[in-house]
Amino acid sequence: MNQKLALKTKSTNEKMSADTIHSVLRELRMLRNDLSLILPNENIFEYTHANRIRRSYRKALKKYPLAWK
């Protein structure tokens, strides 16, 4: 299964093996899992001023939109 996949970038076309891409994706998944351990999901309703937090978050999203949207 040593296929070559074309990876297009703005400057050049590079060829990477499928195994290399799979190992990079595996590393990204592990990093994402590590990050979720550091920054766990919390329920906002546990906080005293949940509505204030939500309002501030919406205001921040208007000023600083998410890059991946």
User: Lowest mean pLDDT: which of 5-19, 28-42, 43-57?
Assistant: 5-19
pLDDT tens for 33-45 read 777 666 667 777 7
For residues 41 and 25, the answer to whether their CB atoms sit within 8 Å is no
More confident residue, 13 or 61: 61
For residues 53 and 44, the answer to whether their CB atoms sit within 8 Å is yes
Strand partners, 16: 5
